[in-house]
Amino acid sequence: MSKEQELLKVLTKPVKVFSSNVPIVKEQALNNAHREIKKLLDDSCSYYELSRSHSTFYLSSELISGVRTDVWYDTGGVRIPCFSGAYVLQAEAGSFMTVADIPNLLAPGDLYLWEAGKKISYSHKNTFMLGFNIAPKSMLKNQDPSRWSEI
Amino acid sequence: MNSNGAQILNFDFPEKLNGFWVHVCVEPEHNTYTYIVSIYKNNKNPTGTVILDKYLPYDYPDMYMCVDTNYQALRVYTNPVHRRNGYWVAFGVFFKTFFATQFNIDLEAPFDRSKWTDKIYSKARKIYGQSFATPVLRGGRIDHDEMEPPRDPAFPLIWFGQRIGGFNE
């Protein structure tokens, strides 16, 4: 079995949608978020004219607990076909996240997806989110397979 | 061993590097690099932990070093928050010793290096007691500053986690 086949076998085994170090929200909310992320990914693939049926995308997430407001942030993968996003868990009223110079008001439950490589900044420190990244299999060289699941 | 089956070693770090731990991705699937060294300053692992692993970490490192097939640290980076602290001099000496003892490798600075890297290299060599210096490539980065380093320097290997890109203007 080739290395690629081995990786594919591991990556496609059923695993939890989000990594186990994120116990904050109930599983139903995660399932709903996962469903919505999938829809946003479908829309984004359509927008960027990427083949959803010929590419297998994988999702990974991290808990973002508090941010700095004096700096801007970046995520891995500089452009399509990588995507980044955030599922807002907690945000102060009136706080916003700026992605590629476009401010977006934040409220718990909001979900955002954007092309990777955009500049991100935050207006308030107390912003808690599930940050996530989406990438096709070809971009997952030497990635820990337990952190990624198919979407 | 950690839950991924990765080997974990512990060393005495210089006091200056208190809070740091290191992840070394060994022989990744890459045409240029033999080791990708990710350095973190946080409490996810104890100070001085060195993890040898076949995977690249998800979190973007506070500092990193990409070692090529000639065992030259071809590309290094420091999070803007941690710059101007002299960490690379201490890490230079540490990695010189670590790679020699762990992999029997003589880690060196690259021929094509910036003024900044050259200064660090000189300081680290002095502490390490090495008189030999890798010659510098004239007309390269030492004479022409790189405007902006690549955002995914180890591509197609990628650190995916959100990271600080720079200070707001």
Extract the tokens encoding B137.
């490539």
pLDDT computed for residue B58 by the predictor: 93
Q: Is B133 on the interface with A (CB under 8 A)?
A: no
Size of interface A-B (CB pairs under 8 A): 89
Q: Which of the residue ranges A76-80, A100-104, B23-27, B54-58 would you say has the lowest mean pLDDT?
A: A76-80
pLDDT computed for residue A8 by the predictor: 45
pLDDT computed for residue A32 by the predictor: 81
DSSP E strand stretches across chain A: 57-65, 71-74, 83-90, 96-99, 102-105, 111-115, 120-122, 128-136, 149-150
Contact status, residue B58 vs residue A144, Cβ threshold 8 Å:
yes
- In the predicted model, what is the mean pLDDT of residues B26-48? 92
Å between B168 CA and nearest CA of chain A: 5
Could you read off the pLDDT of B123-147 as tens digits, one per residue?
999 998 988 999 989 888 888 877 7
pLDDT computed for residue A19 by the predictor: 47
Burial label, B123 (beta-carbon count in 10 A; 0-12, 13-18, 19+): middle
> Sheet harboring A149-150: ordered strands across?
A111-115, A83-90, A128-136, A57-65, A149-150
Q: Is B77 on the interface with A (CB under 8 A)?
A: no
Helix ranges restricted to H, B20-161: 87-103, 115-128
How many Cα atoms are found within 13 Å in the side-chain-facing hemisphere of B99?
22
Å between A99 CA and nearest CA of chain B: 13
Task: Say whether A68 and B164 touch across the interface (CB within 8 A).
Answer: yes
d(CA B121, CA B117): 6
Q: How confident is the model at residue B118 (pLDDT cuts 50, 70, 90)?
A: very high
pLDDT computed for residue B139 by the predictor: 87
Per CB-CB distance under 8 Å, the chain B contacts of A62 are 58-59, 161-162
Per CB-CB distance under 8 Å, the chain A contacts of B29 are 3, 141-142
Q: Which of the residue ranges A45-54, A56-65, B11-20, B59-68 would you say has the lowest mean pLDDT?
A: B11-20
Task: Map residue A108 onto helix, strand or coil.
Answer: coil
d(CA B90, CA B16): 7
Task: Say whether A62 and B168 touch across the interface (CB within 8 A).
Answer: no
pLDDT computed for residue B2 by the predictor: 61
d(CA B37, CA B39): 6
ipTM above 0.95, yes or no: no
The overall pTM is greater than 0.90: no
- What domains, with CATH codes, occur in chain A? 3-150 (2.60.120)
pLDDT(B6) > 70: no
Residue of A77, A120, A142 with shortest CB distance to B152: A77
pLDDT(B44) > 60: yes
Residue of A60, A70, A76 with shortest CB distance to B60: A76
Per CB-CB distance under 8 Å, the chain B contacts of A75 are 160-163
- In the predicted model, what is the mean pLDDT of residues B46-70? 92
Q: Is B168 on the interface with A (CB under 8 A)?
A: yes
Which residues pair with residue A133 across a beta bridge?
A60, A84
d(CA A110, CA A89): 8
pLDDT computed for residue B12 by the predictor: 63
Residue of A74, A131, A141 with shortest CB distance to B165: A74
pLDDT computed for residue B92 by the predictor: 93
Distance of CA A22 to the CA centre of its chain: 14
Contact status, residue B71 vs residue B107, Cβ threshold 8 Å:
yes
pLDDT computed for residue B10 by the predictor: 55
pLDDT(B149) > 80: no
Task: Map residue B88 onto helix, strand or coil.
Answer: helix
Å between B156 CA and nearest CA of chain A: 6
Query: What is chain A's pLDDT, residue by residue, as a tens digit (151 residues)?
Result: 565 555 444 444 433 444 444 444 456 777 788 889 999 999 999 999 999 888 899 999 888 988 999 999 999 888 999 999 999 989 999 999 999 999 999 999 899 999 999 999 999 999 999 899 999 998 998 999 888 888 8
pLDDT computed for residue B7 by the predictor: 58
Cα dihedral A88, A91, A95, A97, rounded to 10, equals: -30
Q: Is B152 on the interface with A (CB under 8 A)?
A: yes
Task: Map residue A98 onto helix, strand or coil.
Answer: strand
Per CB-CB distance under 8 Å, the chain B contacts of A70 are 167-168
Contact status, residue A122 vs residue A144, Cβ threshold 8 Å:
no
pLDDT computed for residue A63 by the predictor: 87
Å between A98 CA and nearest CA of chain B: 12
Residue spans per domain, chain B = 7-128
Contact status, residue B59 vs residue B82, Cβ threshold 8 Å:
no
- In the predicted model, what is the mean pLDDT of residues B73-100? 91
